[in-house]
Amino acid sequence: MKDTAIIGNSSYAKSGGRLGGMSAAGVDPHPLTGELFVSPVPPGTGWPDDPADAATPVAQSAADVHALATSAHSLDELNARISVCRACPRLVEWRESVATTGRRASYAHEPYWGRPAASFGDPDAEVLIVGLAPAANGANRTGRMFTGDRSGDWLYAGLFRAGFASQATSVAAGDGLELKNCRIAAAVRCAPPANKPTTAEKATCAPWLDRDLEFAEPRLRSILALGLIGWDAAIGAARRRGWHIPSPKPRFTHGAEAMLTTASGRPIRLVGSYHVSQQNTFTGKLTEAMFDEVLARL
């Protein structure tokens, strides 16, 4: 694998990550712990719930992603490898530029994670949620899926009402939030410019979701796809796993439901919801009642 054996924080720096000393945006205190971090945050330097360390191999290409995803022996190992991936140059440049010189003014004095967001939640979950990608000032800042932005506020409030979350808010990694019988993944693990990953970027990132689904499969009963990209990503991963997909391909809309069948013959319910983005929730396209109804079917 090309450059996959990039090991240790010093190698991470040489590959483009920032660590040690000052980043372009300086050294800032974590909003919960007060510990100082550079941005982007180097793996294994104490960020709450960071799954990676100095020895985690770094994917530098689509081939590396496939090799590192398929060879991960556990969900923890998979999450660590996801969290240091550098396979898509455009996404790496964007997420790190936001983390250093492009921060939102209200978070200007906080460190930014600036790395891919791994899956989050119960490792033994029966429900898998598939979203689009981290938000530039949300998970790209906090390091946790749907954490630190309005979309996350909306999602976790719904999950709390449905009994999947231990609390209704998600502020920062280390805030005590836990998911029960539910795990959140995404089609793309880095924040994309304008929230629009390219076709090539989605394809490069797909093996991470494939392996996520493989680890979930033995206990899985339902998949909730947020938005069309989440819907297509879930179906694509299921197809690559050898599952039976109804023909013609199920169409996405809010409340859409399709029954997928694993290669061993076990049915898995796929349910669609409009994405919990502000453009949907602020306009009323997605209401709490609509979202609660979908969650109740999982």
- Determine the pLDDT at residue 18: 38
Q: What is the pLDDT of residues 139-190, one digit of tens each?
A: 999 999 999 999 999 999 999 999 999 999 999 999 999 999 999 999 999 9
DSSP one-letter code for 244: B
Assess if residue 163 is contained within a domain: yes
Residue 2 lies in a domain: no
Total-model pTM: 0.92
Query: Considering its fold, how many domains does the chain have in total?
Result: 1
Residue 21 DSSP label: S
pLDDT of residue 222: 98
Domain assignment present for 80: yes
Tell me, yes or no, whether 4 lies in a domain.
no
Q: What CATH number should be reported for the domain holding residue 287?
A: 3.40.470.10
Beta strands in the chain (DSSP E): 27-29, 36-38, 120-121, 127-131, 182-186, 222-226, 257-261, 267-273
- CB count in 10 Å sphere of residue 217: 17
The 10s digit of each residue's pLDDT in 192-201 is 999 999 999 9
- pLDDT for position 26: 80
- pLDDT at residue number 153: 93
What is the rounded CA–CA span in Å between residue 35 and residue 295? 37
pLDDT < 70 regions, the chain: 1-25
Q: Would you say 131 and 125 are in contact if contact means Cβ atoms under 8 Å apart?
A: no
Q: Is position 202 within any domain?
A: yes
- Please report the pLDDT score of residue 3 as a whole number: 37
Asked if residue 208 belongs to a domain, the reply is yes
Domain extent, residue 200, equals 9-296
